[in-house]
Amino acid sequence: MQWSTNGTTWTNITTTELNIAGIIPAANAANVTILRIRYSPTPTTAPSRSYEMQLDRRQPAPTLAMVRFDGFTETISVNDTMEHRANASASWVAVQHGQASAPVDLHPTAVSAWQVRTRGTETQFASAVLNVSIPRRLAAPNATFNVASNAITGVSTAMEFSVDGGQTWTRVAATTIPRIILGNDAVVVHVRIAATAGNAASAVRIVQVP
């Protein structure tokens, strides 16, 4: 069999399926595409009459107003008509019914682009793809315990700390974390830059307080 989109140039179909992803009209295309399929000619027979089907335009991509990265929860906002994936080579993951967000993985060294689209239905192709910029995870702060000052130094009010292994976090109130607020016993303190709307919390610095 052969296929064509103009009725003049024909391409042989070499498998049992025809991947039409590359010929579906874009959302802003001026015209729809007419796909023609026919039986190939042979040395003794002419090609068959072609079967024609209309390929409608893709839906527009979701907008950045609909799909946003949330640094506090490390998710992107979505709805259950969408699907997403980590990159162009990954498989699409459908958003489940009633789900309003999807978790994303932050790259430790580089900004990444998470892909989101409205999934296809029986009557519509999947939409164009929206690339959502996911910031990299910031490096851990350079916090240390200073014996002379009896405090954790190298911190700021943009940071937070935990004394229970990261289960609960307390915002740093000044430029040090005094030993007195950590208790009298030796303790392991986790320190990180706190999350914001646009950035996730940083990697964690583990500080041993004797």
Please give the share of the chain, as a percent, with pLDDT higher than 90: 80
Does 89 have pLDDT greater than 90?
A: no
Does 1 have pLDDT greater than 90?
A: yes
Kindly report, residue by residue over 54-63, the tens digit of the pLDDT.
Answer: 998 899 999 9
Kindly report, residue by residue over 28-39, the tens digit of the pLDDT.
Answer: 888 889 999 999
The CATH number for 158's domain is 2.60.40
Query: Same structural domain for residues 47 and 74?
Result: no
> Which residue type occupies 103?
P
Q: Which domain holds residue 22?
A: 2-55
SS3 readout for the chain: CEEECCCCCCEECCCCCCCCHHHCCCCCCCCCEEEEEECCCCCCCCCCCCEEEEECCCCCCCCCCCCCEECCCCEEECCCCEEEECCCCCCCEECCCCCCEEECCCCCCCCEEEEEEECCCCCCCCCCCEEEEECCCCCCCCCEEECCCCEEECCCCCEEEECCCCCCCEECCCCCEEHHHHCCCCEEEEEEECCCCCCCCCCCEEEEEC
In a domain, 61, yes or no: no
* pLDDT range class, residue 46, cuts 50, 70, 90: very high
Last residue of a domain, one of 11, 27, 55: 55
Query: Same structural domain for residues 39 and 88?
Result: no
Kindly report, residue by residue over 96-113, the tens digit of the pLDDT.
Answer: 999 999 999 898 888 888
Residue 24: how many CB atoms within 10 A of its CB? 19
Can you read off the two tokens belonging to residue 115? 């892909």
Does 65 have pLDDT greater than 90?
A: no
In a domain, 34, yes or no: yes
Per the structure, how many domains does the chain have? Answer: 3
Last residue of a domain, one of 88, 115, 134: 134
Q: What is the pTM of this model?
A: 0.74
Last residue of a domain, one of 55, 85, 100: 55
